[in-house]
Amino acid sequence: MKARLRFDKEKTSEPIIASVILRTKAPINILRAQVDEGTGEVLIEVPDDKAESTISAFKQMGVDVHVGRFIELLREKCIDCGHCITVCPVDAISAQSDLTVEIDQNKCVDCGACVDACPTRAIKLSE
Amino acid sequence: MKNIRTVDQINEKISKGTINVVTAEEMTEIVKSNGIEVAAKDVDIVTTGTFGAMCSSGLFLNFGHADPPIKMDHVNLNGVEAYHGNAAVDVYLGVTKMHPERNFDYGGGHVIEDLVAGKEIELDATAYGTDCYPRKSVKTTFTLQDVNQAILCNPRNAYQRYNAATNGRDDVIYTYMGKLLPNYSNVSYSGAGELNPLTNDPDYETIGVGTRIFLGGGIGYVTGHGTQHDPTNKFGTIMVQGDLKQMDPKFLRGATYTNYGTSLYVGLGIPIPILNEDLAKKTSISDEEIKTNLLDYGIPRRGRPSLKETDYAELKSGKLKLKEREIPAQPLSSLKIAREVASTLKKWIDDGKFLLASPTQRLSVTEVCRPMKITKEAVFVQNIMIPTVTCNIDEDTETVARRIIEKNVNHVVVVDDGGILKGIVTSFDITKAVAKKEEKLSNVVTRQVVTASPEEPIDSCVRKLKKHDISALPVVDSEKKILGIVTSEQISRLLGE
Ligand code: SF4
Ligand code: SF4
């Protein structure tokens, strides 16, 4: 499971992720981290069996947790050209044998590189 | 070549329901297993298809007259400006015209897609008013069914083949061939290879003025050879038109190329009657036989050098070999929808709904496509670059400061003993360093240097200077050996700003 964590500046100095790992014993994989002036944003991956305990641990620490799909391919807009496949840094996009293009949510790291490459604006980075 | 059947005989078979029609991909397989002779006897028609962005496309619309009537002067359709240099209520909407605020996200191509999808379009027109057409403005909404005519017209369609694109710069570039990653990291191409219409009739034996075709899900016609038709170099094009009211949004889609512009994806298919064995052979062409060149779109010039010759089999494999590397390659056009075009056309013929039309005139086979005539030559980096003042990374900041004053320059380029670019320092960097008593040049040098090449146009330098907010570009060759420098001062003087 992937989750996006958001927390405000006061909290960013605390080792939030480390304390959650200690508490839940969940191996948390950090896919992307960005700490700006106002807020911090981290994209993590945890094994599904640890998902629930991890989420509630973060919530207890005052972290805003968002779980769900981040990158979305709008089927009715996509023309299956394949251009997005070539710009994905982690090979998360591929064409099936009938040439239908699909994004593998498990591989996607939510980088957004494919969004502005799509000629029909069929890829949305949903909040 | 002796003909084995005529278009009239073919149409008779279509009407009787005894026609044998296959797609161009199927034909390639049939000839491979049965040979040309048998294939020519068995197959009456080969259908082709393509689905790609066709930037030359546009739409002629006639709205009928309002009461009181208006001679429209400025016309916007959903906020996209349409051309109005013709009769009172006729307009022409080009697919690359962009919405002034929505930019790349919405343009003429999207208005056409919305029209075909049955959506309401806002019309906002103004006029100066005449004695016979007194009205000065009109605001209304309309759908495709409300207009008298909506004629899709494509002056340059169905390129016989097209270059493949990659990017050798160290920046991402956004082009009409899509998003091209730095350092040759992806390849984009266009066209459906062996399914492409003109590829299957490369000498235009059966495709000519009056040929009936599949256009955007409806029926269209070839009206002549297209603009930039270049048959002697096997870069032929056709001009087509069709009634938008018959078309289907599945085969006409607005396109967006970030930082480049908008366009329209058009589905186009042409039936090729197998009149003789020669045509059976031509329609059996396979992807391996269709060659094209991989060009570096990082070079902003007309004559881009070819990095290698490739073919559609390699391109369609999804990987392209370039100097020991395998680069992901994908089209910007849709092969999946191109196949649907060819199979839909095949079905129309099978169902007796589509008859073939013999061309009334052949397309030109001798035209050549020339470059633009320019009365004032463009300026390139090599025309204006000046020698640069250099230094070595081991020198101290004071020595460099003295050199800056002595030579009266603002930029000093750091090079190694072989003259290879290692960095750049500005007079500002050096002033700051001296003031802070920083002696080591290596602590103030900028190592990530944006550079120019001698063949680069000045316009491209202006874009780079602006994008990176810098004031000079060292000029280097492909080995990063320093050749000179161009500065924003020089360019401003040249452009008279
Ligand atoms: S680039 Fe867009 S249209 Fe093309 S396959 Fe990807 S999502 Fe679909
Ligand atoms: S968001 Fe990034 S990782 Fe995900 S599919 Fe797009 S390019 Fe690949």
Question: What is the distance in A from the centroid of ligand 2 to the CA of A103?
Answer: 8
Query: Is there a common fold for A2-67 and A71-125?
Result: yes
- CATH code of A2-67, in short, is 3.30.70.260
Gap between the Cα atoms of A103 and A105, Å rounded: 6
Residue among B142, B8, B121, B5 at smallest CA distance from B64: B142
Closest-CA residue of chain A to B182: A87
Report the pLDDT averaged over residues B54-77.
Answer: 89
pLDDT at A12: 61
Query: What residues of B are in contact with residue A95 (Cβ under 8 Å)?
Result: 318, 330
In B219-293, which ranges are continuous DSSP H helix? 277-282
Task: Identify the H or E element spanning B152.
Answer: strand B149-157
* Residue A33 structure tokens: 């981290």
Pocket test for ligand 1, best of A74, A120, A125 (most atoms within 8 A of CB): A120
Pairing of strands B50-53, B261-269: antiparallel
**Left if phi > 0, otherwise alpha if psi is -120 to 50, otherwise beta: which for B421?**
beta
Locate CATH 3.10.580.10 in chain B: 381-495
Task: Please confirm whether the linkage preceding B68 is cis (ω < 30° from 0).
Answer: yes
Of A45-49, B107-111, B416-420, which range is least confident?
Answer: A45-49
Gap between the Cα atoms of A107 and A101, Å rounded: 15
CA of B179, closest CA in chain A: separation in Å?
5
pLDDT at B364: 81
Select A71-125's CATH number: 3.90.1280.10, 3.30.70.20, 3.90.550.10, 2.70.70.10: 3.30.70.20
Q: Is the Cβ atom of A71 under 6 angstroms away from ligand 2?
A: yes
Residue A11 scores a pLDDT above 70: no
Residues 6+ apart with CB under 8 A from A94: A85, A101, A102, A104
- What percent of chain B is modeled with pLDDT above 90? 69
pLDDT category at B166 given cuts 50, 70, 90 is very high
Residue owning tokens 């014993």: A25
CA of A102, closest CA in chain B: separation in Å?
14
pLDDT at B358: 92
Pairing of strands B45-47, B21-23: parallel
Task: Name residue B310's beta-bridge partners.
Answer: B292
* B183 at A interface, C-beta within 8 A: no
∠B129-B135-B137 over CA atoms, to 5°?
100
pLDDT at B44: 97
Contact B334 A80 (CB under 8 A): yes
CA of A83, closest CA in chain B: separation in Å?
5
pLDDT, greater one: A45 or B355? B355
pLDDT digits (tens, 9 = 90+) for B69-82: 888 889 999 999 99
Query: What residues of B are in contact with residue A78 (Cβ under 8 Å)?
Result: none
Gap between the Cα atoms of B8 and B147, Å rounded: 36
Query: What residues of B are in contact with residue A96 (Cβ under 8 Å)?
Result: none
pLDDT category at B195 given cuts 50, 70, 90 is very high
Which positions of B are catalytic? 132
Report the pLDDT averaged over residues B77-97.
Answer: 88
Closest-CA residue of chain A to B266: A79
pLDDT category at A29 given cuts 50, 70, 90 is confident
Total count of residues recorded for chain A: 127
pLDDT at B363: 86
Residue B168 scores a pLDDT above 70: yes
pLDDT at B380: 86
Q: How many CA atoms lie within 13 A of A79 on its CB side?
A: 33
Contact B332 A119 (CB under 8 A): yes
Gap between the Cα atoms of A102 and A80, Å rounded: 9
* A99 at B interface, C-beta within 8 A: yes
pLDDT digits (tens, 9 = 90+) for A87-103: 999 999 999 999 999 99
Residues 6+ apart with CB under 8 A from B279: B40, B201, B205, B206, B272, B273
pLDDT at A61: 83
Contact A121 B178 (CB under 8 A): no
Q: What's the predicted TM-score (pTM) here?
A: 0.77
Residue B206 scores a pLDDT above 70: yes
pLDDT category at B304 given cuts 50, 70, 90 is confident
* B211 at A interface, C-beta within 8 A: no
* B266 at A interface, C-beta within 8 A: no
Query: What residues of A are in contact with residue B186 (Cβ under 8 Å)?
Result: 86-87
pLDDT at B445: 92
Going by alpha carbons, the residue nearest to atom 4 of ligand 2 is: A108
Residue B475 scores a pLDDT above 60: yes
pLDDT at B268: 96
Inter-residue contact B73 to B159 (CB < 8 Å): no
Query: What residues of A are in contact with residue B96 (Cβ under 8 Å)?
Result: none
pLDDT, greater one: B434 or B152? B152
Residue A9 scores a pLDDT above 70: no
Report the pLDDT averaged over residues B301-311.
Answer: 86
Residue B497 scores a pLDDT above 70: no
Question: What is the distance in A from the centroid of ligand 2 to the CA of A93?
Answer: 7
Q: How far is CA B93 from the centre of its chain?
A: 18
Residue B230 scores a pLDDT above 90: no
CA of A43, closest CA in chain B: separation in Å?
24
3-state secondary structure of B486: strand
Report the pLDDT averaged over residues B3-24.
Answer: 96
Residue among B396, B424, B393, B392 at smallest CA distance from B411: B424
pLDDT at B164: 94
pLDDT, greater one: A63 or B261? B261
Residue owning tokens 């059947």: B5
pLDDT category at B88 given cuts 50, 70, 90 is low
Closest-CA residue of chain B to A100: B336
pLDDT at B236: 84
Residue among B99, B265, B249 at smallest CA distance from B176: B265
Residue B295 scores a pLDDT above 80: yes
Residue B340 scores a pLDDT above 60: yes
Q: Is the Cβ atom of A31 under 6 angstroms away from ligand 2?
A: no
Residue owning tokens 């949305």: A124
* A87 at B interface, C-beta within 8 A: yes
Q: How many CA atoms lie within 13 A of B351 on its CB side?
A: 8
Going by alpha carbons, the residue nearest to atom 6 of ligand 2 is: A114
Going by alpha carbons, the residue nearest to atom 8 of ligand 2 is: A88
Q: Which fold has domain B381-495?
A: CBS-domain (3.10.580)
